[in-house]
Structure 1
């Protein structure tokens, strides 16, 4: 078995969300911290797709930004091709590493400069990394990239406002592909698009993955999208991974109660009559998370141990699960 291209070990990120110093002194309030990501570990093999799913605020997008170096981790490390990214990005080899990993952002309306033409937007990585210094060669390369995502080379002379949402996301994908990366971090790339356009963009991304042997980290809260694109699925809750499993295994036999709750929230078109657990409660306040297992206030299988001890992510029933109830066979 080959070594993974991307490996994440005990990754954590804490944000200081305290009020200004003077307010804290006057109101006698302590400093406050949010543990946005708390001890996450996973690996992605070359040419594969790992999807991270979970409710809003669970830390998915923070993991994405940690992987590409937009945030520095509070604890843990990210390794790319066997080397720690933090060290490499701080060295002379940092630019070469950035060429090998790129990111596609969630909002195609906010991630493109409205004052730039499409040619300038897609050519920016080529100029920044000094890949093509000749203007004619850059223009030709931009035309090739636009064709690779289903647009016309003539679109290079237009502005972002002249395109639909799906076309703008194609432009974002073309920009991400400009440096010929090996690894793409996709932060909910279709959530701002209509369902029919989502399918087109997802199919495009799968085609590009096959053609270029790309490796994806795919962030989403839409399980239907995840089922279409992922090879493995990691389920996050309040900054932690609660289940990590191959896609087929997770959708056929979910282990963690939270994963079951997410899958039960999907409408049952076939009307199978299977017993379903309704979604209960709300995500706790991340400034004051519950002790023990963070999910225990919403879990129908919780007991005293769940309220006291935080379950580690461990191999159970052939998948990685963090749940006392699964470990003890209560589910």
Structure 2
């Protein structure tokens, strides 16, 4: 299978310094956050890669870098073999925007409360010149709403007349308006009730089968990831620490952080397996630990872990960044 999306050495640094005068008076240096720090992965056509990790690990920043909402500090994103940064600054950038869309996390904040659903879902159609007149726009919006389980008549309503799950369906309909091939889903179900989450996820899976969509799915909910993904990347403090197919990652996690995340899932079957509770806190990204960023919380860390940062390397069919794993200590 050919990769539709190829990310190589992607990094984003944010300047979070205090204003210049404050820095001079308080004699403080400038401060930078390495939100994403050298991330690389591929997503094959029609497949789903899920990125998981605790809050603040850089998942949403990766999502925004992929669709061009942020420009990368370094590294490249290639879509269908072409560099997206180069394309976005050319007339072909409009076509690229049409082929990749994003579903945002909060269905209450991502829809304009003053617009009717017809205008919200129809905006991309108008913007990209995909409909000749209002009649065609209404017809197209009606079909899009039907495809996500809403009634065509709902287009005359405002967002406040819908529940959270229905609003997220409107967001999905809007994202599908330009018939994209690649959807970046930034925690699309985290603001919803569990029963509604299942409905939205099932709609997304059905749409993937019908349209051959490729997904990057951002989540911190491993149960959701297990339901939707083909491959899983685990992020910690801006870097990928493990990348494997779903079955391997859930049955035989390698990295101590991945194990810690999986151990935090309630064991409903009560198998009696040994469990390690999640230790410690995520370090301050303004002052990350030396060496492996996970070493202060890792039960297998040694002197090398605190001094030398591990690279993501292939190991027994997966990719992992851990000295303890590659040295055979765990």
Q: TM-score range by the shorter chain?
A: over 0.9
Alignment-derived partner of residue 43 in structure 1 = 42
Could you say which residue in structure 2 is the equivalent of 1:237? 236
- Give how far 1:3 is off: 2.3
Instruction: Summarize deviations over 1:178-221 as a string: whole Å, max 9, x none.
Output: 00000000000000000000000000000000000000000000
In 1, Cα distance between the equivalents of 2:206 and 2:312?
33
1:133 Cα deviation from its structure 2 partner: 2.6
State TM-score, norm by structure 1. Answer: 0.99
Q: Secondary structure at the match of 2:112?
A: coil
Taking the aligned partners of 1:321 and 1:164, their CA distance within structure 2 comes to 41
CA displacement, residues 264-300 of structure 1 (integer Å, 9 cap, x when unaligned):
0001011111111111000000000000000000000
Distance in 2, matches of 1:278 and 1:329, equals 23
Measure the CA separation in 1 of the matches of 2:301 and 2:209. 43
Report the more deviating stretch, 15-24 or 271-280: 271-280
Corresponding residue for 2:278? 279
Which residue of the partner structure matches residue 215 of structure 1? 214
Question: For the residues of structure 2 that align with 1:223 and 1:278, how far apart are their CA atoms?
Answer: 16
Deviations 1:87-106 (A, max 9, x none): 01111100001000000000
- 2:267 is equivalent to residue 259 of structure 1: no
The 5 Å alignment of 1:85-234 reads: 85-234=84-233
Partners of 1:177 and 1:274 in 2: CA distance: 43
Paired with 1:133 and 1:120, the residues of 2 have a C-alpha distance of 15
Q: What are the Cα deviations for residues 142-169 of structure 1, in whole angstroms up to 9, with x where unaligned?
A: 0000000000000000000000000000
**Matched position secondary structure for 2:3:** coil
Distance across 2 between alignment mates of 1:86 and 1:3: 21
Q: 1: CA distance between counterparts of 2:170 and 2:81?
A: 31
Aligned to 1:241, what secondary structure does the other structure show?
Answer: strand
* 1:287-302 alignment, distance < 5 Å: 287-302=286-301
Following superposition, the deviation at residue 317 of structure 1 comes to 2.0
How far apart, in 1, do the equivalents of 2:150 and 2:278 lie? 41
Runs of 4+ in 1 over 3 A off after TM superposition: none
- Give the CA RMSD over aligned residues: 0.4
The offset of 1:10, in angstroms, is: 0.2
Quick one: distance in 2 between partners of 1:280 and 1:242? 17
Task: Please state whether the residue corresponding to 1:87 is helix, strand or coil.
Answer: helix
Query: In the alignment, what sits opposite 1:76?
Result: 75
Q: Distance in 2 between matches of 1:285 and 1:291?
A: 12
Determine the C-alpha separation between the residues in 2 that align with 1:70 and 1:116: 23
Q: Which runs of 5+ in 1 are unaligned?
A: none
In 2, Cα distance between equivalents of 1:7 and 1:233: 15
Q: 1:318 deviation in Å?
A: 1.4
Q: CA deviation at 1:226?
A: 0.1
- Deviation of 1:243 after TM superposition, in Å, equals 0.1
TM-score by length of 2: 1.00
Q: Deviations over 1:231-269 (max 9, x none)?
A: 000000000000000000000000000000000000101
Q: For structure 2, which runs of at least 5 residues remain unmatched after alignment?
A: none
| Structure 1 equivalent of residue 325 of structure 2 | 326
Residue 54 of structure 2 corresponds to 55
